Every structure is written in structure tokens, then in C-alpha cells.
Amino acid sequence: MTASAVAVGAALAALTAFGAAPAQAAGYRYWSFWDRSGSGWQYATEGPSTARPADGDVQGFRFAVSADSQDASKPRVPARGGALTFDGICAKTPAEGGSKRVALVIDFGTAADAPGGEKPPAERTVCARVGGDATSAEALAAVAKPLRYNSDALLCSIAGYPRTGCGEQVSQTRKGGGEKPADS
């Protein structure tokens, strides 16, 4: 065997070994915020502390590790089923004068995204009845206490999950593009 054949063989072996390894990139563990539009999710263009949803809006929160908004995991359909529609979530909460109803989907994420030693609660849907000028953060606080924020007003915890941490950088391993839930 010639020296060049050995070099090519070694290079192919190295490429095969490295090509099979999962991609790793820096990501952040945080709560992302979503607006439901028709049958799909849109990453919210403003934060929950300034967004003022209308009566009948559906909004979602998803805890996950992602690199940025383009990579963020969308809220999933709760395991117990149910529609991700305003009527499906708020059917048992009648309208009242001077208030609005906001349907919320709270997805605590997967065990793979959970901080060490924590297990995410089951995802859930809930209808918040709040004052007519309430923000999304106020709607969330009405139904999912305790909430925790950091000094930069980043939402760190919903219903006490996770107990610690806030938007920390973590290494992210994805095989085959990672989990990307459907828009259901």
C-alpha cells in the first residue's frame, strides 16, 4: 500500500468517526414565549411583561434548551389530549364584563432539557381571567404561581419550575436535528 493510500484511508476513517458524532453547540435553558395563530405557533415578538393579549388569544410558554428563537422548541399538545384552541381551553370560563380571558399552554419541556435533579411537570392548558388591560405576565401569574424573574426581568420559573437557574448557557447535543414538535 502506498503512503497516499494510507493517508486517504486515515482521512476517510477520521471523517467517518467525526461525521457520526452528534453536533454540539451552545444553547440556553429558558422559557420561550409564543403566540398561537390559526393552527400554528409564532415566536412572540415582545415579552410577556409588555404583551397585552386580547380576549380570546392563545399564548404558550415552553421550557427548553435552544440556541435562539429560530431554534426554540414550540409548546406541545398536553399528553392528556385536548385542543390548542381558545374554545377548547376556555370553554368552562364564561366571559365577564371588564375582564378578558386568555388561553395559556404551559409546556414544562422534556427530561433532557431539565436542570440536574429536576423532573418537569406535565404540560397543561389553563384559562386565565384577568383585567382588560392585563399583560401576558399578569395572565400567567393569575394561574401558575409562583413565578420567578431575574434582575433583567427574564422569566426564570413558572409554577416553581425550575427551582433554580435562569437562562444559563448549556452545551446542546442534537442528533438528526433534535426534537422539533409539530405545530399541533
- The 10s digit of each residue's pLDDT in 116-172 is 999 999 999 999 999 999 999 999 999 999 999 999 999 999 999 999 999 999 986
Statement: residue 23 has pLDDT above 70: no
pLDDT value at residue 12: 36
Q: What percent of the chain has pLDDT over 70?
A: 77
Average pLDDT over residues 47-76: 95
pLDDT value at residue 77: 77
| C-alpha closest to that of 51 among 140, 175, 167, 137 | 137
Question: For the whole model, what pTM was predicted?
Answer: 0.79
Compute how many other C-beta atoms are within 10 angstroms of the C-beta atom of residue 53: 22
pLDDT value at residue 108: 98
Between 177 and 69, the more confident residue is 69
What mean pLDDT value characterizes the chain?
84
